[in-house]
Amino acid sequence: MNAIYILWLRQIKRYLRSRARIVGSLGQPILFLVALGFGFGPVYAKAGGGNYLEFLAPGVIAMSILFTAVFSGIEIIWDRQFGFLKETLVAPVSRLKIMFGRTLGGATVAVLQGVIVLCLTFIFGFRIYSLAMLPMALLFMFLIALLFTALGTAIASVLEDMQGFQLIMNFLVMPIFFLSGALFPLTNLPKAIATVTKIDPLTYGIDGLRGALIGVSHFSLHTDLLVMSAITFILIIVGAYLFTKIEV
């Protein structure tokens, strides 16, 4: 447990020391909130959808968590190239503990990023419908972070160069985000798109987060929580297995 705690704390310290990383990662969420929230707001309202910024904010929060979580896997490749990973793996600590510590650390960093974006949404006029549901929102944020940190770890464990990781991540992450219902409602979609959104794990994370923050969800919160928990558990197992097979 000490090894897991140390690796978890190391990830957080690395994030907090990088002020440029914190500030830089806020650019895209702010752009989405301003350009889409206010740009499509009147159109969304005329279509009878209500306040588009309210609908969009949970999706933007999830987006910031998604990108931060997935790209935490780059640190594995970075550490491998510079020899830091080898030093970690030869320590008298099981690889499972190393993986769990890194995954928890990456997920915590992603949640911190999501909380910062959540605070930013208040500046643009977003409001939580019930403070009592805030712990539920944080739970969904943590599940999203844990799921995609495990995914990033799994993919980084079988790759050796950053270029390959970035290509694969862009191939996966962008469709996962845009087909998750983060930017559009899940009702009355074409059958093909509706099927894809139901397969997308981020769909359930955003839907649960939206239900907790604004009280509107496509599925039930219980369904969202069950699906997210199951997929997160599976990906952690897969990520742990692939990490134990790393050769340095």
pTM: 0.89
- Taking the CA of residue 118 as centre, how many other CA atoms within 13 Å lie in the half-sphere pointing to its CB? 19
Q: Work out the average pLDDT over 41-59.
A: 81
Which pLDDT value is given to residue 205? 95
Mean pLDDT for the chain overall: 83
SS3 50: coil
Give yes or no for residue 201 having a pLDDT over 70: yes
Which pLDDT value is given to residue 28? 84
Which pLDDT value is given to residue 129? 87
pLDDT winner (highest mean) among 1-10, 125-134, 136-145, 237-246: 136-145
Pinpoint the alpha helices (H) of the chain: 2-17, 19-24, 27-31, 41-46, 52-70, 74-81, 84-89, 95-123, 134-157, 162-178, 191-199, 201-214, 221-244
Which pLDDT value is given to residue 7? 66
Which pLDDT value is given to residue 53? 87
Q: Work out the average pLDDT over 67-74.
A: 82
Give yes or no for residue 161 having a pLDDT over 90: no
Q: What's the gap between Cα 69 and its chain centre? A: 5
Residue burial 234-244, b: 16+ Cβ < 10 Å; e: rest: ebbeebbebbe
Q: Give the pair of three-digit tokens for residue 141.
A: 């944020």
Q: How many domains does the chain have?
A: 1
Which pLDDT value is given to residue 118? 92
Which pLDDT value is given to residue 11? 66
Which pLDDT value is given to residue 211? 93
Give yes or no for residue 1 having a pLDDT over 60: no
166: pLDDT confidence band, cut at 50, 70 and 90? confident
Percent of the chain whose predicted confidence (pLDDT) is above 70: 83
- Going from the C-alpha of 180 to that of each of 27, 35, 43, 174, the distances in angstroms are 21, 19, 21, 10
Query: Which domain range does residue 58 map to?
Result: 2-244
18: pLDDT confidence band, cut at 50, 70 and 90? low
Residue whose token pair is 């059958």: 191
